[in-house]
Every structure is written in structure tokens, then in C-alpha cells.
Structure 1
């Protein structure tokens, strides 16, 4: 789950909400503690918004099969009781919220029914019948449909890396990647595409890729460039960093990368919340970190930087100055 850049005040309120969540979920909160929580909750609309944010994250974790029970085993007895109580109280609500989201989201259903999927924290090769190579990144989904006219891949969620080969059939069929915002046509290339909220990011490492948005815009992006686009607009191309594709080897390579951005990338490979104190926004990193073991990556950060990693809850982790 990606991090979000927040102000110092927002970060502090979120931390307070997480602390209250742990206190109230322990099952042994005193009347004075419950009254203090209500005072805190009513003191500022930002407190209520932060509390709802913590509840939403916990609900998503609770909806994962077996997650609360497994995570509770890693905690000392008071927190095990807290997680047990929270699982009983919140799993039903989390599942209901998740189901409501499914009913409202065609894109979500398309991703869940896709022929190829990866879980959070998983990357996997995608077999293509023409000999082209592809890989799915964490929490991604795609369909592959080849026919007599097109070699077509549809990215439903997440990120894909494609290394296209020439089609053996005559006449050669175009290799296209369909995304919600339009269609990408490979022009003898190696490229990656990320669905990022309402935008699509295209990074071209070799060859070129033609963008055709659903709104009618077209542009060819050459090797060494990346661009973000929507159904109605194509942004300004910038230089691409080859290291962005290192996720295929389960590695995050940081070259003068902000700590906030490193944590945001690690958050994509784990469940729960991963936050960064805004005081650390300008810390730059140079190094390599494992994406298939984000806890080790966090330990590496703590060992090499003046920071401390706090596990407020099993699914709530924040990084602050030491």
C-alpha cells in the first residue's frame, strides 16, 4: 500500500490515531482511557479523519484470509489480545467495505478475473505465445489474447515489463498493450507500463512505443524516455532511469532517491501502512534494497541512516528521525 506525502501535523495525528487504535483494541482499556480517546476524537475534525484512515487500513488487512491470526502470533500477549479483539470487531466491516468496492468497480472485477495475476509482494514472468517476454510486478493483473490480427495484452492493474519479439506469422501482427487510458503499440522494444491512480506511466528502454489515447491523441515515445498520460492528455517526456526496471530481479535500486520515495516503493510490496516523518523528506539514498523482503529493507535503512523504524501495529509502520 503506497505511502502518501503528508504534512508534519497530518503525520503526527495519524500516529496518535494508530496509538489509540492499539490501546482500545487491547481489550483492557480503562474508563479513563476511553474517555480520553473520545475527547481526542472530538477535539478536531482531523482526528476523526485520521481515525477513519486507520480503521480503513485495518479493515483491508482483516479482509485478507488468515491475516489477523497470523500477524497476532508475532506480538507479545497484550497485543495478541488486541489483534484478536480487533479481528472479531472489524473483519465483518472490512469484508463488507471490500464487497461494496467490488460492486462499484468494473476495473476491480476485471483485475480479479484476469488470466494472469500476482499478489502483493510477488513478481512473476508472463508466458507469451510468440516468444516475447513479459513480467508482472507486485499486485498486478493482465489478460493475453492473441488472434489472427493482433498480439494483444490488456493490463488490468499494476505494472508490466515487456520485451517484444518479431512475430513469426506473415503478415506480422502488431503487439499492443491495452490500458484504461488507451492503447500502446510496441515498435520493436522493451518497455514498462504502470497504472498509477488515474494516470498511466510508460517507460521505454529500447526501441519505441506508440501511444494512442482513448481521447484520440497519439505520440511515439523513443528509447530513454518516459511519460505519463491519461485518456485525454499525454504529458511531457522525461529521461528514464534503467534502474526502474530492476524490480524484475526483486531489487529496488536507489540513486540519489528520496527516502520518502523509497518507502513509497517498498509500500507497494507489503500490506498495511508504511509512513515517513516529513522531517525526513530531504534525505537522499544510494543503495540497493530487496523487494521480496521489505522487513529486511527497513532494517537496512535503520542500520545505515539516522532513522528509527516503529511498528506501531503489525500493519502500521512508520519511519522517524532517530
Structure 2
């Protein structure tokens, strides 16, 4: 990825974003315009930050400040390339919308990520040291190759298989914890109440950001790490991780859980009748075509799928 020299300090970018709000989205008076001109002339970094924001037509006003800073500092000083313009045009469409559709279609995390997937997409990359990274649906991660190689999970779910026999240490950082690994295979998924860490091979060390010393998580173990600390979860079944093969394998799981998982792979609403929430469901279902999987479940159990549009599905009793 291209780098910028010098890097614009966060305070300068924040100020430029603030001026963009005042100048671009409002009608400033003479006093405000004079103050803006003084700020602009005071430092070359001010002018550079302002030019970068204006190259995006002010759309960063709707981004969280941290995301805006990170994205702007990745932009080259030269004119944006067509590929970058298309990405930011997508952002402009998203931030102008409301509700879940904007969040699911073009989340800001993808703009600062080195690796990302769209809703319904699974991708795999071989990293520079030979390790293999998988990202599940609607996910994003950034990479830093330093003394300790680091992946930052910004959104969704990842699986990392470190290169076998390579002594290089890896660290995966999430909002809740850090996972340190060498010669291991594990997954990390951002959940509503923390990060779920599942180890398939080897041993990793997990450090909760809330508090506490690093603790080991061995193969076959699963932990949830959040603001309240860390706690073990039931051991994952053999079907765990089937998402890497485009499958969801259910063994007597509640319908609500099955549909919630399938809902991750499509844009729109996927609901169920309350009386069916705990009905046990078993089967192997495709995540590549979640609508087809929902129809298959309904037929197998004698239920009905109500479809208002391609974005609105609900399973109910016949």
C-alpha cells in the first residue's frame, strides 16, 4: 500500500474535517471564512489535509473520526486513481442512506482495510510469509508486517493458519483482545458482546484488553473475550469452520440460530415466526445461496417462506 510522507497529525485532520463541515455543508459568515483562511495559511499540513478532504467532496463528514484519519493518511498526495474514486463514490452512496442497508453494503472499515469481503463473500489470501488468511462474509482486516506480524480484525470474522515450521510470531488484534500465535490455526469473530476465539490447531495466547494476564487457549477450545473479561464456551463441533467451504452445518440447532447465521450472508431482513424460534433444525446448508437454503429448510419442515421483496424474507408456520 502507498504511504504518505509526512503523515498528517490526527489533530490537523480533525480540524480539516471540522472546517469541511462548516464551509462545505453550511453557509459560513464572513468571520468564519476569515478564520478558515487564517487556519489554512498557517501551516502546509493544513493545506494538505484540506486538499485531501476536498478530493473526496466532503464525504468524510459522515465517517467516524478515527476511520477518516486512517483513510486520509493512506491516500497518495497525487490525484486519486479511478479505483479509489469508485471506492469513495460507494462510500458517498452509503453515508447518504439510512438504516442497515448502508452499514451492510459499504461499511467504512473496508476503506482502511488491506483485505475485505462483501456480504455473502468468502475470500482466501496467502500472506507474504506463507500463512493463509480467510475472511468470512462482510469482514475486513488490516496487515502490518513488522517484528511481530499483526492482523487487525476491523469487522466480521477471520481464520488464520500460520505458516508451518515458520518461527515468525503472529498477533491478531480485535477491539476486545490480542491473540498471539506461532504454528497454529485459529479463528476470531467479532460478536455483539466480545470476540470469539476458536483454536483448531496448536496453542495461542489470548490477552483480554479489559484486564488480566495472557492465558493459553489450546486446540479444541473456544473462548469469548469481552469487556467483562474472558469465559470459556462449549467446545466447537467438527462442523465448526464449515464457512470456509461455503457451508453451514447444523445439528439440532434452533431455527433462530440457523437463520441468524444464514442472514449474515445476504443483504436484507431474514426473520422467523416467534413460535418457531426454538424448533430444532439439522442439515448441511449453502451459504453461497442463503435464499435457497431458507427455502430448503421450509420445505423440509413444512413451513412457509413469506417474501415481500428480494430483501425481505420471513419463515412462518404453514
TM-score, structure 1 as length reference: 0.64
In the superposition, relative to structure 1, how do residues 151 and 159 fare at CA in structure 2: closer, same or farther (>3 Å)?
same
Q: Deviations over 1:66-90 (max 9, x none)?
A: xxxxxxxxxxxxxxxxxxxxxxxxx
Matched with 1:265 is: 261
Q: Which among 185, 195, 198 is matched to residue 190 of structure 1?
A: 185
* Aligned position for 1:174: 169
Q: Find the counterpart in structure 1 of residue 275 from structure 2.
A: 279
| C-alpha distance in structure 1 between counterparts of 2:253 and 2:217, whole Å | 24
**1:92 deviation in Å?**
8.7
Flag as ranges the 4+ runs of structure 1 deviating above 6 A: 91-94
| Residues in 1 aligned to 2:310 and 2:177: alpha-carbon distance in whole angstroms | 39
Matched, 1:235 2:231: yes
The residue number in structure 1 matching 2:66 is none
Write out per-residue CA displacement over residues 242-272 of structure 1, whole angstroms, 9 at most, x where no aligned residue: 3120000101111111111110000000011
Rounded to whole Å, the distance in 2 between the matches of 1:288 and 1:96 is: 36
Q: What is the aligned residue count? A: 222
* Residue in 1 that maps onto 2:211: 216
Structure 2: 5+ residue stretches without partners = 1-91
Q: Which ranges in structure 1 are unaligned for 5 or more consecutive residues?
A: 1-90, 103-107
Q: Partners of 2:95 and 2:163 in 1: how far apart?
A: 44
Change (3 A) 1:287 1:214: same
Change (3 A) 1:236 1:277: same
**CA 1:154/1:286 → structure 2, altered by over 3 Å: closer, same or farther?**
same
State how far apart, in whole Å, the 1-side matches of 2:93 and 2:140 are: 26
Q: Which has the higher contact order (CA 8 A, sep 6+)?
A: 1
TM-score by length of 2: 0.65
Higher helix residue share: 1
CA offsets, 1:186-221, max 9 Å, x none? 143211111112411111111122111223322211
* 8 Å contact kept, 2:303–2:315: yes
